[in-house]
Amino acid sequence: MPERLAESPPNSDGSALQAQAEAELGRAKFRLRFPAELEARYRQDTAAMRARHLAFISRVGVSLYVIIGVLQNLLVVSHPPWTSVAIQLGGCFVLVILISYRFFRADTPDVQREAAIFICCLACELAAILVVFRDPGPLSARDFVLAAMPLNFILIFIRLRFSSAAALAVISALAYVAMVFLRPEVAGTAFSFGFIVLICVPSLVGLHAIERGSRNDYLYGLLQRLRNDRLTAEITCLSDLSATDPLTGIANRRRLDAALGAFCSTGNRAGALMLIDIDDFKAFNDQHGHPAGDQCLREAARCMAARLRPGDLLARMGGEEFAVLLPEMLRSEAMETAERLRQAVEAHPLTVDGVSVGITISIGVAAAGGGADAARLIALADAALYDAKRAGRNRVSCQSLETTP
């Protein structure tokens, strides 16, 4: 049955994996093993489906095997050794059920699962050979064919990996040869061997085609998934870029507007909005140049970001103006945070052309309340910032929604 991708996290080196998958699709069709990394991914992704398939088909298969075995001995074999048949069929049934519950789980290593089913199939096959071999009557081509029937059943229904199925066919053929040499009275030997070849060769060819097709289906599915992952990553990257200020690396106005809109849509809740302006930034730019001005903006953003909570949003409004959205924060806490930012920036060392230069910021705080909307909060914060500037800069001022008309 075709193998499909399991839900698993994307490979960290998707480009290399994609190159391997594309190369495999163009290689010789006979080989049934991928390069090591791709083979590991294949077995990991298909482990759950492979386990479910083996558990279902082995339980159904061994049930049919018991039924067919009983019918064969009732309808074909004269004077069947029922004790041996019961041990053979019952033992195979119990063995398959035990192995299916123990090894046919997604967390079982693939090598262990394949080894378990191989041993189980081989045991069923050898049990059938042993029953025929120990028959006290003379062996015939009919008995030989009956002993070979489990092999046919296993190759068609269980669908071992091709390498395991080929090994089983070889071991079974050797067991049949050994039985012929140990019981030379077998009649119709040429027919018997021809029958075994007729069983093994088409079954193995079919198994090879099925497994190769399953692997190709997996490769096409993997390539599609890797391309989708890459496309999703690119879209996410573009989305992040559209919401990020390229100079400072913090959020831009677009992201702030979205976050502020979401904050205000929740209704009556605590929170605050800060507007922050670097004092005398135009004079700083004129004196030290625009590269130093860019450095000043980056350093100020880095300094403030380091002193905010994980849930706070620092954004660049444009020019030398920043904003901070402080969800779930009371007015007193917002004022303490603003003062902490002001002091941190004032104390932050900024070196321009080997000379230490001091910068300061003014902060306007708008404390939110019931019925706040984004435009109103921005207007309040802007008014508070204007108050801080008019009071002499390097200050914090606050206005609350409840105290303004």
Looking at the predicted structure, is the pLDDT value of residue 390 above 90? yes
pLDDT score recorded for residue 304: 96
Q: For residue 240, what are its two tokens?
A: 């992040």
Q: Which of 230, 227, 251 is nearest to 241 (CA)?
A: 251
The answer to whether 37 and 253 have CB atoms below 8 angstroms apart is no
CB contact set of 112 (below 8 Å; sequence gap of 6+): 103
Topology (CATH) of 253-403: Alpha-Beta Plaits (3.30.70)
Work out the pLDDT band at 140, boundaries 50, 70, 90: low
* Total residues belonging to the chain: 405
Give the global pTM.
0.52
Count of alpha carbons within 13 angstroms of residue 166, beta-carbon side: 9
Work out the pLDDT band at 382, boundaries 50, 70, 90: very high
Q: 150-188: per-residue pLDDT in tens?
A: 777 777 777 778 888 888 888 877 877 777 777 666 555
Mean pLDDT of 139-156: 66
Mean pLDDT of 377-385: 94
pLDDT score recorded for residue 303: 95
Dump the DSSP string for 301-361. Answer: HHHHHTTS-TT-EEEEEETTEEEEEEET--HHHHHHHHHHHHHHHHHS-EEETTEEE---E
Q: Which of 110, 104, 150 is nearest to 130 (CA)?
A: 150
pLDDT score recorded for residue 169: 83
**Would the CA dihedral through 283, 289, 290, 296 be positive or negative?**
negative
pLDDT score recorded for residue 83: 76
**Would the CA dihedral through 150, 152, 157, 160 be positive or negative?**
positive
* H or E element in which residue 352 lies: strand 350-352
The answer to whether 139 and 132 have CB atoms below 8 angstroms apart is yes
Rg (CA), the chain: 38
Looking at the predicted structure, is the pLDDT value of residue 369 above 90? no
Q: Mean pLDDT check: name the lowest of 58-62, 135-139, 293-297, 329-333.
A: 135-139
The answer to whether 322 and 303 have CB atoms below 8 angstroms apart is no
Indicate the domain borders of the chain.
14-230, 253-403
Q: 56-112: per-residue pLDDT in tens?
A: 877 787 788 788 778 877 777 667 777 777 877 787 788 878 887 777 777 778 778
Q: Report the mean per-residue pLDDT for the chain.
A: 81
Work out the pLDDT band at 21, boundaries 50, 70, 90: confident
pLDDT score recorded for residue 186: 56
Looking at the predicted structure, is the pLDDT value of residue 322 above 80? yes
Mean pLDDT of 47-60: 80
- The residue with tokens 């999703």 is 232
pLDDT score recorded for residue 95: 80
Q: Which of 335, 317, 318, 306 is nearest to 326 (CA)?
A: 335
pLDDT score recorded for residue 8: 42
Mean pLDDT of 118-138: 71
The answer to whether 313 and 248 have CB atoms below 8 angstroms apart is no
pLDDT score recorded for residue 394: 95
- Sheet strands (E) in 49-167: none
